[in-house]
Structure 1
Amino acid sequence: MTLDFSVVADAWKSLLFGALGTLFLAFSGMVIAMVVGVMGVVILRMQMRIPSLLVTLFVEIIRNTPFLVQIFFLFFALPLAGVRLNPTITAILALGLNGGAYAIEIIRGGVESIPKGQTEAGLALGLHKHEVFRLIVLIPALRAIYPSLASQFILLTLTTAICTSISAYELTSVGQRIEAETFRSFEVYFTLTSIYLVISLVTMWLLAALGRWAFSYPQR
């Protein structure tokens, strides 16, 4: 067998745009996941029975079913209810909901790690309950759980590869098209593996730098 990487070299523009598509899906999905995560924790802390039960049910369903099944459900079942979404929007929604379920558990764990005395101190200072949650509970909790959220974002970035199953435009779908045209499976998937590795390492470095900037304690 003779290796020929010229087929992927000739398609470098397509691979570049595919990588950008992967990052777009991952970033958009993570934004939705953070919104879902924070809102879910707020609802759980309100301790209203029905909303809390719905949030818990959502988390359990998402965490105990495969992502592939979830994205298929959104793509093929929603049209039966009259909701038709293109593959990209469906992929973003699926990634956001999937990541949101895990974000709820991560953020909830961080919030519950904050000593109750800090909340009581904030209330004693005359802060409103919403201000206490945002300034005294949420921000310190995010500082504590940031590494876990960053790892979840990396995982979500790699999960975008499954979105090719509904023809969403991302790196794996581009690679499959190149492989179908050239029949150079090893060269194509070796290249895809390398690109995903680079994306993960660079994203990990950027998130670490962001964490140091956003959550570092003020210097005296």
Structure 2
Amino acid sequence: MNYTFDFMSVFANWDRLLMGAWLTIQLSALSIVLGFAVGTLCAIAGKSRLALVRGLVLAYVEIIRNTPLLVQVFLVFFGLASIGWKLSAETAAVIALTVNVGAYTTEIMRAGINSIHPGQIEAAECLGMSRFHVYWHVVLLPAVERVYPSLTSQFILLMLASSITSQISAEELTATANLVQSETFRSFEVYAVIAVAYLVLSFLFRGAFWAISQIAFVRKRKLGTNL
């Protein structure tokens, strides 16, 4: 093999790659926040007494979890455009990622909510707590605390999966890398650098989630247990 490695041509485009990484962070962070909200609401709706509501939640979760993310991205970007709802690549990316992670979050939060013993809810109601406070303090917060490691893993997977949105020209890290590769013809060097970049982003996200846990879960921190 007679190949000369040339990483300098890649590092010469560091500003473009940095902008791509920043857009990856933005897309992922926004999708995580919205997806968590969607998943939590759907998990609560899944406990509804109305069979129709439970059926809609189940259908949403099963459809999203059993179809490829790339197809979902194409459906939002190209499908909606074909019926007159043209969205920017970034907006379509956020919608698709939110819908996707929302389905997985629904199942994770459902498991967390189901882990709360009914006796705790009954005790809170006997103390005269409102329905909102019962759900917030007795159900949701403890449920999130219990499934937080699973949530963070799913959210980091979402950040990595955001690379798929390069297929609709969202100018995130992978899309930028593809452009740099097409200009420099240094495939190995470009994608080796991008692999390291995603590894760094994963550690940054994990550190951010750890910091959030230290603020949000005071009880667990006092007990000296780590997430």
- Normalised to the residue count of structure 2, the TM-score between the two structures is 0.94
Which residue number corresponds to residue 165 of structure 1?
167
Q: Per the alignment, in what secondary structure is the counterpart of residue 112 of structure 2?
A: helix
| Residue among 145, 148, 168 paired with 1:146 | 148
Report the 3-state secondary structure (helix = DSSP H, G, I; strand = E; otherwise coil) of the residue aligned with 1:169: coil
Find the aligned partners of 1:79 and 1:175 in 2 and give their Cα distance: 26
In the alignment, what sits opposite 1:213?
A: 215
Q: CA deviation at 1:174?
A: 0.4
- In 1, the alpha carbon distance for the partners of 2:216 and 2:168 equals 36
Displaced runs of 4+ in structure 1, greater than 4 A? none
Shift of 1:211: 1.1
- Offset at 1:46? 2.0
CA-CA distance at 1:219 after TM superposition: 4.2
SS of residue paired to 2:171: coil
Provide the C-alpha distance between the structure 1 equivalents of 2:4 and 2:35, rounded to a whole number of angstroms.
Answer: 44
The correspondence for 1:2, drawn from 1, 4, 18, is 4
Q: 2:179 aligns with which of 177, 186, 210?
A: 177
* Contact 2:89 2:168 (8 Å CA) reproduced: yes
Q: What residue identity is the alignment partner of 2:146?
A: A
What are the superposed Cα offsets for residues 120-139 of structure 1, whole Å, 9 maximum, x if unpaired? 00100111222211111000
The whole-number CA distance in structure 1 between the counterparts of 2:111 and 2:162 is 26
Give % identity: 41
1 CA distance for matches of 2:7 and 2:156?
A: 27
Q: Which amino acid aligns with 2:126?
A: A
Matching residue of 2:113: 111
Measure the CA separation in 2 of the matches of 1:165 and 1:63.
Answer: 20
1-structure distance, mates of 2:137, 2:212: 19
Match of 1:43 in 2: 45
CA–CA separation in structure 2 for the residues paired with 1:28 and 1:173: 19
* Unmatched tracts of structure 1, length 5 or more: none
Pick aligned residue for 1:23 from 19, 22, 25: 25
Counterpart secondary structure, 1:46: coil
RMSD: 1.2
Q: Residue 4 of structure 2 aligns to which amino acid in structure 1?
A: T
1:178 to partner: Cα distance? 0.3
The TM-score, its normalising length taken from structure 1, stands at: 0.97
How far apart, CA to CA, are the structure 1 residues paired with 2:160 and 2:152?
A: 13
Deviation string 1:128-151 (CA, Å, 9 cap, x unpaired) is 222211111000001001111111
In the alignment, structure 1 residue 199 sits paired with structure 2 residue 197: no
Query: Is contact 2:113-2:139 (8 Å) kept?
Result: yes
1:25 & 1:80 partners in 2: Cα distance? 24
Within the candidate set 32, 55, 58, 1:56 is matched to 58
Q: Would you say the 8 A contact 2:46–2:57 is kept in 1?
A: yes
Partner SS, residue 122 of structure 1: helix
The Cα shift of 1:5 comes to 0.6
